[in-house]
Every structure is written in C-alpha cells, then in structure tokens.
Amino acid sequence: MSTLFTPSSHCHQHLNGFFKCFITMLTNVLTFVVFHLCLALSVSGQSPLKFLRRFEKLDYDSSSVSSAHARFKRSIDSRSDPFPITISLKYLDKTFKLKLKPDSSSFSSSHAFDENGKKKNVDLSFLFDGQVEGESNSYVYGSLIDGVFDGHIHIKDNVYHVEKIVKYDVNQLKPAYHSIIYSDDDIKFEKLRVKRHVDSSASSSCGLHGRVRRTMQRFQRSAVVEEPQLFTYGSGHQWTGASRNADEAMQPWRKYVEKVHRDDEELSDRWKRSADGLYDVRTCTLYMQADQKLWEFVYNHEGQRNSERTRNEILSLFNSHIKAVNTIYEGTNFNGIKGINFVVQRTTIFDNNTCPSIVTPDSGNPFCEENVDVSNFLNLNSIKNHSDFCLAYALTYRDFVGGTLGLAWVASPQPSEHTSGGICEIYKPYSEGSRRVRRSLNTGIITLVNYHNRVPPKVSQLTLAHEIGHNFGSPHDYPPFCQPGLPDGNYIMFASATSGDKVNNNKFSICSVNNISSVLHEVLRQNPNMPRLGSSAKRNCFKRRETSFCGNALVEDGEECDCGFNQQECRQRGDSCCYPRTHGGEAKGCTRVEGVQCSPSEGVCCNKSCQFITSSAHFLCRQATECSTDQYCKGNQPGCPLPDAKPNGTRCQDNTKVCNRGVMQFL
C-alpha cells in the first residue's frame, strides 16, 4: 500500500512530468479510497442513509410478485384466497412472510381525486394490508408498485419499515438491491438534528412555539362575528340556487363530497347518543394535498420521472401516514371516547405546471411561493375554503428553518373562549391588522425534509399525529410529569420530534388525553346535521365510520367477537371468552380465547362459560310478536334463531292489519 502514495523516481528526475505523475498518483489514491469505501459499504452493511445504524438489503424477485399482482387483478371477481399476494423478507435472523390483500380503506368510498384542479379517476388497487404468517397479532400495510413492496410491519411491540432505496440519494452507488428493511431501533434520531427541549429559542420540530404561537393565538381570537347565517354540514358558505350551480360547475369534486353529506343526512335518524350525550360519529374526514415541491422530489426519486407512477407513490405516502395515525388514535381511549379515526375524502396533487397560479377560495395552487417560512406556508393552506372537511393538510418537501417539521392550528375546548381553529372549523373572516381576511383554520402542514435529508417515515408519521393532536386541542406536553424523557421517552405531543423507538413515543400523555377529550366532548355533543347559526358554537362534522372497529362491543366484519376496548370493559360485560382490543397477551384483539365455543358478544345464546346454551335449557331468546312465535336457543349457535312466522293472513293489531311472512301489513 505504501508504494501507492510514493512518487516514482521518474517523477523526481523529470520536473516537467511532475504534474502528470502527480495527477496519476492522485487518481490512484482516489480510486483506492472509493473502491474500499464501496467495498466497506457492501461488506460491512454500513448505511448510506445518515439516519440508520443498519439495514438489510432486499432483492427478492419483484417481477414474479408483479405477475402475481397482475393475475389477481384480472381475476378479482373470482378470487377465493383472502391473501392473494405473498412476499418473504429477511431481517437479521428473521424471515417475515407477508400475506397481503388489497385495502384502500384509508380513502373514503366516495374519495375524490384531482390533479392540478382537474378531477380524475384513480385505481387504488396498488394499496395493500395484511399480516405476517405465524404472527397472530401482526399488522402490515403499504403499497405494491411494479412488484416492489413499500410499507410497514407491526409485530407485537416492534415495527419494521420497508422502503425503496430510490427514495434516497444513493444512485451514485448503483445498488444491486431495490429495497431496504430496518426496525425502529435502527433509526439514529440524533442525525435529524432536532433538539429535545422546548423554549422560544430552541430548535423544535414543531413550529408552534414562542413568537409563532403568540401570533397564531392572536389571529385565532380575531374572528369577525357576522350576521347569523345558515351553515349546514358540507357547505363552506351559504349557497342559493344560481351561486351553488356556479360553484359546482367550477368545482366538479364538490358534488361528490356533498353526496356523502346527503347520504349521512338520510341516516341521521339512525344516529344515536350515548349515555353521556355524545353522538356516535367518530370519523374525521381529511383533505390531503401534495404541493409541487413534494411532487418534484418524488418525481425524481421513487416516481422515476414518470407522472403516473409519481401520483401513485404520493397516494401511497398518504395511505401509509393515515394508517399510522389511525393506529395511534384508534388505540387511545379519550376519557370514554373510543374509535377516533381518519379517512381521506379528497386528495389534490399539484405539479410544477400549476405555478404561477391564480388562487381563489375554491381553486388554484396556493403553494407557488418559492421562499416561505413554516407559519406562512400554513397560512397558504388556510387561504382556501376547507369547510367541507374535518381537517385539511398539505405535505411538502421544504427545508424549514430550525428543523421544523410541522405546524397546525390548536383547537380550544370552549366556544366561550372565542378562539377559533382546529377540527371542524369553518371558513370565516378574521381581522389581520386593518384588513378583513377569510381563512380556514382546520388546517395543518408537515414537511418530509430536515436539514437536506429526507426524514424517516416513522418520524413524519409521528409528526402528522402530533400536528393533528394540536387540531384536536392539545398544546405541547406540560407540566414536567408529561415530559418524562428517558428511559421510556417522551409522548407524541412533546415539542420536538421523537424517533418512535421508545415506549411512550407512540402514545398520548394523560395531559394530552385530557385536553383532546375536552374538545371532543364539546364537538360530539352537537348534532352532526343540526344547522349552525353564526360562528361561535362548535360544529360536529364527524361521520359514521365505514370500516369495522375492534373495541366497540359490536361484532363486525373480520371479527370473531368484540367484548370491548380493554379487559375492564370485558369483565364488566361478564365476557372472559373474547380478547379485547388492548390486552397484555400476544393474541389478536376481537378473537375468541383458545378452546372456547363462543363469546357472549356474539349473541344471547352464548353463556358466560363460553358455551352455546342448549335446547334443554329452554332459554327464551326472542319473545313472540303478533306475527311470529317464541324462539329458544338450540345449542348450535351463539345468536338467537330467526323467528318462525305465523300463517299469512293472521289478523293482528286489533284486526286492522294482517301478517304476511312475519310482518304486519295493512288490510
């Protein structure tokens, strides 16, 4: 090796050739260094990604997976396998066999997509979820594009992340692998350069501190009280005849959103209030936007300079973030309010062709300004009318000063405080100096870059959960007992970003739970369809959920049983036969305990001993009506048998009606 660094005697003897020899020597040195650096990366497994301690390379045959995906799509109407796609991944000494099925439940069934302001139909069949074979309480979600899986694997308390290597600037290494897999423990949080203390001069991953917080609070208290106007769920301003038709012509997506609201109104008579007076609506609808900065970055990386692929990659990014946020919020008991979840109602992707743009409350790209700080970027998102949604978020790829990753308006629990903002807030006027401006304060923003480096998805997902926590009414965690630090880590609403690998990083502190609960109680006690007069009262814009929820004591699709959210609720119901949503074991929630026949949550013909009630017990499970007979448990099912109808033509209800197939009808 030493001879490589020593000029030859020929170079010493011929001065004129010295520089030529020097260049030759320097070239040899650089070749040696680069070769051994690349060799070290490939042999030792050191990470070319600054935020990882280690990762495993994945180079499975993506073409065979892509072929399986294509075959499944062609035969989708005749499919019988609940998990048609299987992929095996290796991480250290583990092998994860992913069993995947299509799942686009993060997006509403009436999801409206527009690109550059034009509505388009999108195929979401590249989104999947599933489980790991042999891991009963596992959960997998992500996307499958060209046979390459990109997503997240939850096994017990461990989370593993699978990412395309082209997401990061490693093209100069020309890796022979298409993906990497790493765990939460592999993330080097210190490389994100985000400090872990909160004051006005500190670098904080959340922009809500010091001067910015005070400025936002003043603006939130400056709402201008207008003459009372009729405001119903689904309309950002008062509409009448011609103006509404003009709006629909200009905004083709709006009629799709309104259809959902009309459907909800038809179901309003089925909405129920719980014992504490809260309506049983738990879904917060989202408007998700990607600005041209994010589009450009994705286009040049995982989008592979293809517009359609870029669109799908951004939709995949939205999906993974909402899945992660739902995992957190659905798993939290907000002082009796359970099952809070999010669904994407509308998405907009702005590309470089949308700038410059003329921006109105209902159209145009508001994010064209090139150099803007985090508070002004939030203001740009708030310029447009977002009253049709619970929350409206914009994702970007802008490197904000101080390592700031997000910012959002904070909700206040009491309308008497005259502080606007947060979930369900409407588009209305505020005082800005001597001007009157209209803003939507049900908004937030996050960025995916920190000091020139793309942040790990775990961090951006927790950032979104954090900013939504502000929208739901939680300030940053305080006092000190809600900022415990190590060893268990800080909670979600700590001001600086967390890596996600500590026990508390994915949880809300009791301080946050209490703050969010106060806002939710104020919102959910309002009738979701009650017209709103003026701008002082809270609005309930939540919807009924479209998917099943383990923990609500209702047996729904995909569940064997459902005794409640936790073990205490199950005990109160006398059900020891079913695993609750949260418990200390490894079994999946809402499944029967091994060896039992049934759970009382499945029906009245299952007893507390987890056995079917036999026919010999003569247990009356349904009383007779004028058109049907008594029904008794038969010992072969947990539910009460269907009623037997009395003969057609049987007179009933004081001879004013007759029975027909067990139902009363007028004569």
Reported as a single tens digit per residue, the pLDDT across 444-454 is 999 999 888 89
Q: Kindly state the DSSP code that residue 187 receives in the 8-state scheme.
A: B
Comparing 120-134, 144-158, 496-510, 606-620, which segment has the lowest mean pLDDT?
496-510
What's the CA gap between 596 and 233, in Å, rounded? 46
One domain, residues 13 and 65:
no
* 366 in any annotated domain: no
Residue 580 — pLDDT band, cuts 50, 70, 90? very high
Question: Which two tokens mark 526?
Answer: 């309002």
**For the residues 126-154, what does the mean pLDDT come to?**
95
- State mean pLDDT over 22-34: 47
Please report, as a single letter, which amino acid is at residue 421.
G
Domain presence at residue 141: yes
pLDDT at 132: 96
| Exposure of 502 in the CB half-sphere (CA atoms within 13 A) | 17
Active site residue 467: yes
- Please check whether residues 153 and 34 belong to one and the same domain: no
pLDDT digits (tens, 9 = 90+) for 349-370: 999 998 988 888 888 899 999 9
Q: Which of 252-266, 412-426, 619-633 has the lowest mean pLDDT?
A: 252-266
Within-domain flag for 183? yes
- Asked, for residue 480, whether it belongs to a domain, the answer is no
What average pLDDT does the segment 167-186 reach? 81
**Over the chain, what is the mean pLDDT?**
82
> Is a pLDDT exceeding 50 seen at residue 332?
yes
How many domains does the structure of the chain reveal? 3
Residues 99-120, buried b or exposed e (16+ Cβ, 10 A)?
Answer: bbbbbbbbbbeebbbbbbbebe
- To 10 degrees, what angle do helices 307-330 and 457-471 make? 60
**Per-residue confidence (pLDDT) for residue 363, from 0 to 100:** 85
Q: Is residue 324 part of a domain?
A: no
CB–CB of 173/182 below 8 Å? no
499 versus 330: the higher-pLDDT residue is 330
Q: Is the pLDDT of residue 195 over 60?
A: no
The pLDDT assigned to 604 comes to: 97
**Phi, then psi, of 18 in degrees rounded to 5:** -60, -45
Query: Are 39 and 68 in a shared domain?
Result: no
- Cα–Cα dist 599/405, whole Å: 46
* pLDDT given at position 18: 46
Q: Which of 12-21, 312-321, 372-381, 437-446 has the lowest mean pLDDT?
A: 12-21
Higher-scoring residue by pLDDT: 548, 199: 548
**pLDDT, greater one: 342 or 500:** 342
Distance CA(183)–CA(596), nearest Å, equals 36
> Mean per-residue pLDDT for 515-522?
95
In a shared domain, residues 65 and 40: no
Q: Residues 35, 153: one domain?
A: no
Tell me: do 81 and 133 sit in the same domain.
yes
Residue 415 has pLDDT above 80, yes or no: no
Choice between 215 and 98, residue whose per-residue pLDDT is larger:
98
Question: pTM of this prediction?
Answer: 0.80
143 in the same domain as 88: yes
Separation of CA 566 from chain center: 23
Domain that holds residue 150: 56-189
Residue 333 has pLDDT above 50, yes or no: yes
In a domain, 341, yes or no: no
79 lies in the same domain as 151? yes
User: Confidence band (pLDDT; 50, 70, 90) for 272?
Assistant: low
Rounded to a whole number of angstroms, the distance between the first and last alpha carbons of the chain is 106
Q: With 60 as the cut, is the pLDDT of residue 33 above it?
A: no
Boundary-marking domain end, from 189, 218, 247: 189
224-228, 535-539, 548-552: least confidently modelled range:
224-228
- Asked if residue 423 is part of any domain, the answer here is no
Clarify whether residues 84 and 15 are in a common domain.
no
Determine the average pLDDT of the residues in 66-84.
Answer: 76
Distance of CA 647 to the CA centre of its chain: 53
260 DSSP assignment: H
Can you read off the two tokens belonging to residue 249? 């012509």
Residue 621's identity, in one-letter code, is C
| In a shared domain, residues 87 and 110 | yes
Cβ contacts of 124 within 8 Å, gap of 6 or more: 104, 107, 111, 315
| Stretch 278-292: mean pLDDT | 96
The yes-or-no verdict on residue 417 having pLDDT over 70 is no
Residues 85 and 156 in one domain: yes
Q: Are residues 28 and 144 in the same domain?
A: no
Q: Which helix (H) or strand (E) holds 308?
A: helix 307-330
Which percentage of the chain shows pLDDT scores above 90? 57
The CB density around residue 609, as the number of other CB atoms within 10 Å, is: 12
Q: What is the pLDDT of residue 424?
A: 94
For the ranges 210-214, 530-534, 588-592, 659-663, which has the lowest average pLDDT? 530-534
In this prediction, residues 286-295 reach a mean pLDDT of 97
56, 425, 467, 559: the active-site residue:
467
Residue 332 forms part of a structural domain: no
**Residue 462 and residue 508: Cα distance in Å, rounded?**
11
Q: Which of 167-181, 244-258, 513-527, 563-577 has the lowest mean pLDDT?
A: 244-258
Whether residue 70 has pLDDT greater than 90: no
